[in-house]
Structure formats: structure tokens, C-alpha cells
Amino acid sequence: MHPFYDGNGRTARALARLLLLRGGYAFDGLVSLDAYLDNDRRAYFDAIRDSAGIEYRPPYDATAFVEYFVRSIVGAADFVLSRVKGLTLVLAALRRDVIAGRLPARVQDGLVYAWVNGSLRPAPVINVHPALLPFFGGKGMHGDKVHAAVLAAKAKESGVTVHRVHPDTVDLGEVVVQRRVPVNEGDDVATLSARVLAVEHEAIVEAVRRCIAKEAVS
């Protein structure tokens, strides 16, 4: 079992948290041991190999893995502490700027809003899809799969869609920007992908501009 987010890592993560909790290390939610281990997967598997050997034959000496695991716990905690210390410095500098009146008016307005409402409004999340939604979208439709589906359907045009992202949906958010390109006779996935990519950057820039303008008005 591995502790990483992809695949079947849930059981290993649950066991690790349970053992830490029983040992008095109840920092779940503050320290992400999973994310720390994920930074160097090779070290994780090397520690298992050093303990269990190439072939698993109990009983074996687990000292190497236990030492690695303890170092990982300390490393993950140190990482969070360094971020907290950095945040403390940022807050101190921000406090000085507030007292001295050096903050731009827009930042001051944001701080007042956060103070009154408890938080800032979440920024909109957008996604870039390499086709003209609502066509050729949905779960599992990404990258070359999309272009292959467009070609298989003998569509006359394709393009790029920048849309808002909503929780628990896939490619169903409001369209912010679309750019169209023709599908030429003889196109394959590579040529169509290149043509769509050529308008993708322009679409992203325009979508960001529209989102910023809408947030400013609202």
C-alpha cells in the first residue's frame, strides 16, 4: 500500500494517521504527510525495499522504514512551521503598511470586506477545454481524446472553450470565451491539436480579462 493521493492510497493514509494519533501526534489537518511523501516517492519505496528486501519474507527488520517514516513526520512538520513563520512576517509587514497608510485603496477595500464578512470572495476558477462545449466534453474527455472524437464525428469545426468550473460537474460551467477553428480535410489529431492550441492562449487572456472586469463590477 502506498500513501499517495492517486490510485489506492487511502488505506495507507488512514493507517498512518491512526498510528500517529495513537502515538499522540494529532496534527492531522495541519500537516499533510501524504503531500510530503508524494514529493519523493522513490525514497518511500526505497525505504520499504531496505526493510523488507526484494521479496517479502516475514519476519524482517523494519528499522529502516521506521526511521524513514519518523524523518518524514519531522520534515512535514518543519515545512508547515516554516510556512507559518513566513506568514507571520508577512502579517507583520502588512500591519505596518496598514498603520502607515501605505496600502493601495483596492487592497484596503479588500481587507475591510474580509474583516466584515469573514473572508474574501473566492476568485472564479476557469478551465480550458480543447473543443466547442457543450460538444465533445464530459468526464474523461481531455487532450487528444477530444480531438480524436471531433475527427471521428466528422465535425466541420472545432476550437477552444474557456468556461467556469463548478463543483461536482465536468465541463458544464458557464462559457466565458470560445474561439473557433476549421477542421480541414486530411486532418489528424496532431494537426487539429496544433490549430486549436494556436488560439488557446488568446482565449485564456481574454477570459481572464472578462473575469476580472466582472468581479470589479460585482
Highest mean pLDDT, choosing among 51-60, 77-86, 182-191: 182-191
Whether 217 has a pLDDT exceeding 50, the answer reads no
Whether 129 is a known active-site residue: answer yes
Specify whether the CB–CB gap between 169 and 134 falls below 8 A. Answer: no
In the chain the domains, ranked by start, together with CATH numbers, are 10-117 (no CATH), 126-217 (3.40.50.170)
Q: Measured between alpha carbons, how far is residue 212 from residues 124, 160, 169 in Å?
A: 9, 20, 23
- To which residue does cell 488557446 refer? 200
Of 2, 129, 147, 163, the active-site residue reads 129
Distance, in Å, from the CA atom of 88 to the CA atom of 53, rounded to the nearest integer, reads 45
pLDDT score recorded for residue 2? 54
Amino acid identity of residue 199, one-letter, is V
Question: 154, 172, 152, 155: which is closest to 164 by C-alpha?
Answer: 172
Distance, in Å, from the CA atom of 187 to the CA atom of 179, rounded to the nearest integer, reads 18
Read off the pLDDT of residues 133-155 as tens digits, 9 standing for 90 and up: 999 999 889 889 999 999 999 99
Amino acid identity of residue 133, one-letter, is L
Distance, in Å, from the CA atom of 129 to the CA atom of 159, rounded to the nearest integer, reads 9
Distance, in Å, from the CA atom of 28 to the CA atom of 201, rounded to the nearest integer, reads 40
